[in-house]
Amino acid sequence: MDRVTPVLLLEVASAGIVLVFAYVALRSRRAGAVVPSRARRLQVGLLVGLLGFAGLLLAFTFPRAPYPRRAERPDRVVFVVGKQFSFAVSERPITNDSEWQEAVAFGEPVTLAPGELVEFRVTSFDVNHGLSLYDPDHVLIGQVQAMPGYVNRLRFRFTKPGRYEVLCLEYCGHGHPRMRGYFFVK
Amino acid sequence: MASRLGGLASVLVGSGLVLSLGFGAPARGTEADPEGPYGIPREERYLYRPVPAVEVATQQGVVRLDRLWGERPVLLTLVYTRCSGVCYPFVRSLRDAVRRVGGLGRDYRVVVLSFDPEDTVETMAAMARNVGLADRPDWIFGVTAPTSIERLTQAIGYWIRWDPAARQYDHPAVLIGVDRGRVVRFLVGATVEPARLYEVIRELRGEMVGTYPLPRKGVLFRCLQYRPGRGTALDWGFLLLPAPGFAAFGITAFLFWSVRRRRACPVHSPGGP
Amino acid sequence: MLHGEASLAWPTPVLLERGEAVSEAEDVGFRRMTLVWVATVLALVVVLGTLGWLMRLTQGNWLTLRPEWFYSLMTLHGLGMFGTWYIATMAAVTYLLSRYVRPSLSASRFVYGLTLVAVSLFVIATLVGRFSPGWYFLYPLPFYSQGVWKPWATAVFFTFVGLLGVAWLIWEVSLLGAIARRWSLPQALGWDVLFGRRSVSDVPLAVHIATVMLVLHLSALLSAVVLLSLYTLEGIGTGIRNDPLLMKNLVFYFGHVTAEVTTNLSFMVVLELLPRLAGRPPFRVNRMFAAAFNVILVLIAVTYLHHLLMDFAQPFWLRVLGQTASYLIPIPAAVVTIFIVLTLIYGSRIRWTLPAVLLYLGVMGVAIDGIGAAFISSTPALQFLFHNTLVAVAHLHLGFVMGVVLINLGFVFQFVKELSRSEESSWTTWAIPVLLAIGGYGLVLMFSLAGVASVPRRYAIYPEELARGVTMARFAIVPLALLTAGALLYLWELVRRWPHAWAASRLSSSEAASS
Averaged pLDDT for residues C54-74: 95
Q: Is pLDDT of B232 > 70?
A: no
Averaged pLDDT for residues A68-84: 86
Mean pLDDT, chain A, integer: 92
pLDDT digits (tens, 9 = 90+) for B51-82: 999 999 998 899 999 999 888 899 999 999 99
What distance in Å separates the CA atoms of residue B265 and residue C165, rounded to the nearest whole number? 32
Q: How much of chain B, in percent, has pLDDT values that exceed 90? A: 34
* pLDDT band (50, 70, 90) for residue B84: confident
Asked whether the beta carbons of residue A73 and residue B44 sit closer than 8 angstroms, the reply is no
Q: Residue A78 has what pLDDT?
A: 93
Q: Is pLDDT of A79 > 80?
A: yes
**Distance in Å from the first CA to the final CA of chain A:** 24
* pLDDT band (50, 70, 90) for residue A76: confident
Chain C residues with CB under 8 Å of B241 CB are 223, 246, 249-250, 253
Q: Which one is predicted more confidently, C312 or C449?
A: C449
Asked whether the beta carbons of residue B221 and residue C242 sit closer than 8 angstroms, the reply is yes
Averaged pLDDT for residues C279-304: 92
Q: Which residue of C has its CA nearest to B252?
A: C215
CB environment A126-145: b (16+ within 10 A), e (fewer)? bbbbbbbbbbeebebbbbbb
Nearest to C154 by CA among C144, C166, C164: C144
Q: CB-based contacts of A55: which residues, under 8 Å, 6+ apart?
A: none
Q: Is pLDDT of A162 > 90?
A: yes
Q: Residue C19 has what pLDDT?
A: 78
Least confidently predicted of B200-209, C281-290, C329-338: B200-209
When CB atoms are compared, the residue of C177, C250, C316 closest to B255 is: C177
Q: Is pLDDT of B96 > 70?
A: yes
pLDDT digits (tens, 9 = 90+) for C322-351: 999 999 999 999 999 999 999 999 999 999
The residue of C307, C346, C361, C371 whose CB has the most chain A CBs within 10 angstroms, and thus the best one to mutate to test that interface, is C346
Q: Residue C232 has what pLDDT?
A: 94
Most confident of B187-191, B266-270, C493-497: C493-497
Q: What single string gives the DSSP state of each residue in A64-120?
A: G--SPPSS---SEEEEEEEETTEEEEESS---SHHHHHHHHHHPPPPEE-TT-EEEE
Q: Residue B222 has what pLDDT?
A: 64
Q: Which one is predicted more confidently, C186 or B25?
A: C186
- pTM higher than 0.80, yes or no? yes
Asked whether the beta carbons of residue A91 and residue B214 sit closer than 8 angstroms, the reply is no
What residues does B50 pair with on adjacent strands? Answer: B182
Q: Is pLDDT of B229 > 60?
A: no
Mean pLDDT, chain B, integer: 76
Residues C111 and C170: beta-carbon distance below 8 Å: yes
Q: What single string gives the DSSP state of each residue in B221-241?
A: --SEEEETTTEEEE-GGGGGT
Q: Which one is predicted more confidently, B198 or A161?
A: A161
Q: Residue C135 has what pLDDT?
A: 92
Chain B residues with CB under 8 Å of C313 CB are 210-211, 213, 224
Alpha carbon of A38: minimum distance to chain C alpha carbons (Å): 11
Q: Which residue of B has its CA nearest to C185?
A: B256
Alpha carbon of B266: minimum distance to chain C alpha carbons (Å): 13
Own/partner contacts of C235-241, CB < 8 Å, gap of 24 or more, are C235/C142, C235/C143, C235/C151, C235/C154, C235/C155, C235/C158, C239/B218, C240/B218, C240/B219, C240/B220, C241/B216, C241/B217, C241/B218, C241/B219, C241/B220
Q: Is pLDDT of B250 > 50?
A: yes
pLDDT digits (tens, 9 = 90+) for B175-185: 998 988 888 87
Class of the domain covering A76-185: mainly beta
Q: Where are the domains positioned within chain A?
A: 4-64, 76-185
What distance in Å separates the CA atoms of residue C139 and residue A126, rounded to the nearest whole number? 10
Asked whether the beta carbons of residue A150 and residue B214 sit closer than 8 angstroms, the reply is yes
Q: Which one is predicted more confidently, A10 or A33?
A: A10
Alpha carbon of C350: minimum distance to chain B alpha carbons (Å): 34
Q: Is pLDDT of B120 > 90?
A: yes
Q: CB-based contacts of A93: which residues, under 8 Å, 6+ apart?
A: A79, A99, A121, B28, B44
Tell me, what amino acid is at C167?
A: A
Asked whether the beta carbons of residue B272 and residue C181 sit closer than 8 angstroms, the reply is yes
Asked whether the beta carbons of residue A91 and residue B216 sit closer than 8 angstroms, the reply is no
Q: Which residue of B has its CA nearest to A78?
A: B44
Averaged pLDDT for residues C356-378: 92
Q: Is pLDDT of C268 > 70?
A: yes
What distance in Å separates the CA atoms of residue A58 and residue C32, rounded to the nearest whole number? 49
Averaged pLDDT for residues C356-369: 97
* pLDDT band (50, 70, 90) for residue B246: very high
Q: Which one is predicted more confidently, B7 or B81?
A: B81
Least confidently predicted of A27-36, B143-152, C34-43, C496-505: A27-36
Chains touching chain C through at least 3 C-beta pairs below 8 angstroms are A, B
Asked whether the beta carbons of residue C138 and residue A20 sit closer than 8 angstroms, the reply is no
SS3 call for B73: coil
Q: Residue B213 has what pLDDT?
A: 58
Q: Which one is predicted more confidently, A93 or C448?
A: C448
SS3 call for B64: strand
Q: Residue B7 has what pLDDT?
A: 45
Element (H, E) at C201: strand C200-204
Asked whether the beta carbons of residue A92 and residue B214 sit closer than 8 angstroms, the reply is no
* pLDDT band (50, 70, 90) for residue B21: very low
Residues B143 and B120: beta-carbon distance below 8 Å: yes
What distance in Å separates the CA atoms of residue C53 and residue C72, rounded to the nearest whole number? 14
For chains B and C, CB pairs below 8 A equal 107
Q: Is pLDDT of C281 > 50?
A: yes
pLDDT digits (tens, 9 = 90+) for B133-162: 998 989 999 999 999 999 998 888 888 888
Q: Residue A112 has what pLDDT?
A: 96
pLDDT digits (tens, 9 = 90+) for A107-127: 899 999 999 999 999 999 999
Least confidently predicted of B185-194, C142-151, C166-175, C431-440: B185-194
Neighbours of C80 (CB within 10 A): 23
What distance in Å separates the CA atoms of residue A148 and residue C258, rounded to the nearest whole number? 27
Asked whether the beta carbons of residue A95 and residue B28 sit closer than 8 angstroms, the reply is yes
Q: Which one is predicted more confidently, B17 or A164?
A: A164
What residues does C498 pair with on adjacent strands? Answer: none
Number of H helices, E strands in chain C: 20, 2
Q: Is pLDDT of B233 > 70?
A: no
pLDDT digits (tens, 9 = 90+) for C95-138: 999 999 999 999 999 999 999 999 999 999 999 999 999 999 99
Q: Residue C375 has what pLDDT?
A: 84
Residues C30 and C94: beta-carbon distance below 8 Å: yes
Mean pLDDT, chain C, integer: 92
Least confidently predicted of A71-75, B233-237, C251-255, C274-278: B233-237
Dihedral sign for Cα B17, B21, B27, B30, please. Answer: negative
Q: Residue C508 has what pLDDT?
A: 67
